[in-house]
Chain A
C-alpha cells in the first residue's frame, strides 16, 4: 500500500508538505495575530503579476536576467511594503485596504502582460495560482528548503519582537525599540516565504494552508507556542489527507488539502458559535 512512497515525485511532495506546513506555522500564526490574513492572499496573488512582468522582461529582451520567480518576489515584497507603510502605527484596517488595492493592481498587471508574452509561457503564470504538489522539481524543493530555513532562523531570533509588534506596538516604541524595523522585517520575511511557497504549491493552496489552520489554532491555542505547533499539525494533516486521497481516489491533492483545511475551520467556527 505504501508503494507509492518509493516514487521520487511523491517523496518531493512529502518534503514540500512538511516545509509548507512549517511556513504555515511561522507565517500564518503571525499574520492571523496581526489580523493580516489577507496579506497572505495579497502577496500570493501578487506573484502572478510579478511572474508575468518577469516573463515579459525576459522574453522581450528588455531585462533578460529577470526570471518569473524574481519578478514574483519583487511584487510580493512590494505588496508587503505598501501594507507596511499603511500600518506603521499598528492599525490593521489601513493595511487591509492597501493590500486590497495592491492585490487588484498585481492581478491587472498579470492579465495585461499575458497578451505580450509568448503563449507557451502563459501556463507558467497560472502555475503560480494553481500549482501542483506532484509536479515539483528538485530545484523547487531546494528553494523551498532555503526559504523555510531562513524563515525559521529569523523567527527564532526575533520571535519576541514579532510578538510584541503584534501585541502592543505603542508600548514597544515607548520602550525605545525601533518597532518599525521589526514591523518591516516581519512583513518582508513573511512575503518571501509566501512567494516561494506559492511557486511550489500555488496561491490557492498557500492561502488555504497558511490561513485556515492559523485561524483554527488561534481559537484553541493558549500560548503563542501552542498556536504555532497546532498550525503545523493542522497544515500537515490537511496536506497529508490531500496527498493520500489523490492516490486512493485520484483526486487533486491541492484541492483536497484546501478543502480539508477549510472544513476544519468551518467546524471550529460552528463549535465556537455553539458555545
Chain B
C-alpha cells in the first residue's frame, strides 16, 4: 500500500511561532483530500512542507514514501503545484501557451528552448482543461476560472502523480467552479492524487475521499461524513461560527465563505 502523505508527530514553526503541531495522519494513494480550517490554521503551510520548502522542527513527513527532508527534489518531480492566483504577477504579459510551457521548460537547461514535443504536450494539457481555443490568448485577460484551469494545466503538463492546489476556488464564478471540479474529478479518475486547500468545501464535498480539518493541529481527519460535524467545526472555527446542515453534513459559515 502506498501512502501519498504520511505525517508522524509533525511540527513546523516559523521563527518562534508554531504553525503546525503534532500532526499525525496518512492517506492512501490515489486520493482526493481537502484540507480545511480557519485562516492561519496551517493549511498552506502543510502544502509547502510537502514540497520540502519548510524546515521541519520535529517529526517526519513523507510524500509517496519519500522523506521530504531527505529528497525534496524527487518529491517535486512527482508533484504539480497550483499556487494561490493572488500571488501571480499579471503585469508580465504572458500568453496562455507561455504559462503552460513554464511547467515543462523548468525541467530543461537554460536557455530552455521549447521542443516540438513540449509544444504538443502543452497543447494536450490545455485541451484536458477544455481551453484549447485560448492557446494564443493573453493570460491576464482570461476570467478567474479560466486562469485557474490554465494553472492546473501548467501543473499537470509534466504528468505528475500528485496535484497540490492552494485555494483553487478563490475569486472564481460559480460556472468556473464546476468546470474546475470537472477537471479535478477527471484527474482523480486517472489515478492521480489531488490535495487541495480550500475555504469552501461545499461544492466539492461529493467528490472528495478525505477531509483534514486543521487549526494548527488536527481537529478531525476522515471522510466528509466523519469530519463535517458541528462539534468539530465549532472546535476548529470557535464558538461564534455559524454552522448549517445540508444532506447530513455540516458546513461552517465564516464571513462570505463556507468550510
Contacts and interface: CB of A to CB of B under 8 A. Distances in A.
Interface of A: 32-35, 90, 156-161, 163-164, 166-168, 170-177, 218, 221-224, 226-227
Given A34-B89, A161-B110, A224-B94, A174 B138 contact: no
B51 to A, nearest CB: 5
Contacts, number: 86
B73 interface: yes
Given A34-B89, A218-B93, A223-B95, 9 more contacts: A90-B89, A166-B92, A174-B76, A176-B106, A222-B93, A222-B138, A223-B93, A224-B98, A227-B93
Contact of A168 (B53, B83, B105): B83
Top 10 nearest A-B pairs (CB, nearest first) are A174-B81, A176-B76, A167-B92, A170-B83, A175-B106, A160-B112, A33-B92, A168-B88, A157-B110, A166-B92
B93 A158 contact: no
Interface in B41-95: 51, 53, 72-73, 76-77, 79, 81-83, 87-89, 91-95
B76 A166 contact: no
Given A175-B81, A176-B76, A224 B92 contact: yes
Q: Which has the most chain A C-beta neighbours within 10 Å: B81, B89, B94, B95?
A: B89
B257 to A, nearest CB: 22
Nearest to A172: B106
Contact of B91 (A33, A156, A158): A33
A221 B93 contact: yes
Nearest to A92: B89
A160 B111 contact: yes
A160 B110 contact: yes
Nearest to B104: A175
B224 interface: no
Contacts of B112: 160-161
A32 B106 CA distance: 23
B154 interface: yes
Interface in B213-256: none
A218 B91 CA distance: 8
Q: Which has the most chain B C-beta neighbours within 10 Å: A158, A164, A175, A176?
A: A175
A70 to B, nearest CB: 29
7 contacts: A160-B105, A160-B110, A163-B92, A168-B83, A223-B95, A224-B92, A224-B94
A88 B93 CA distance: 22
A178 to B, nearest CB: 11
Contacts of A160: 102, 105, 110-112
Given A218-B93, A223-B95, A174 B79 contact: yes
B103 interface: yes
A231 to B, nearest CB: 13
A90 B87 contact: yes
B111 A171 contact: no
A171 B107 CA distance: 13
Q: Which has the most chain B C-beta neighbours within 10 Å: A90, A158, A160?
A: A160
A156 B73 CA distance: 27
A187 to B, nearest CB: 16
Nearest to B103: A175
Q: Which has the most chain A C-beta neighbours within 10 Å: B77, B111, B154, B164?
A: B111
Nearest to B75: A176
A156 B111 contact: yes
Nearest to B113: A160
A232 B210 CA distance: 54
A156 B82 CA distance: 28
A166 B89 contact: yes
Contacts of B73: 176
Contacts of A164: 102, 106
A90 B107 CA distance: 21
A224 B95 CA distance: 9
B27 to A, nearest CB: 20
Contacts of A161: 110, 112
Given A156-B111, A160-B105, A161-B110, A174 B83 contact: yes
A159 B102 CA distance: 12
A34 B92 CA distance: 8
A173 B95 CA distance: 21
Contacts of A158: 110-111
A171 B94 contact: no
Given A174-B81, A175-B76, A176-B77, A167 B110 contact: no
B103 A32 contact: no
Contacts of B106: 164, 172, 175-177
Nearest to B111: A157
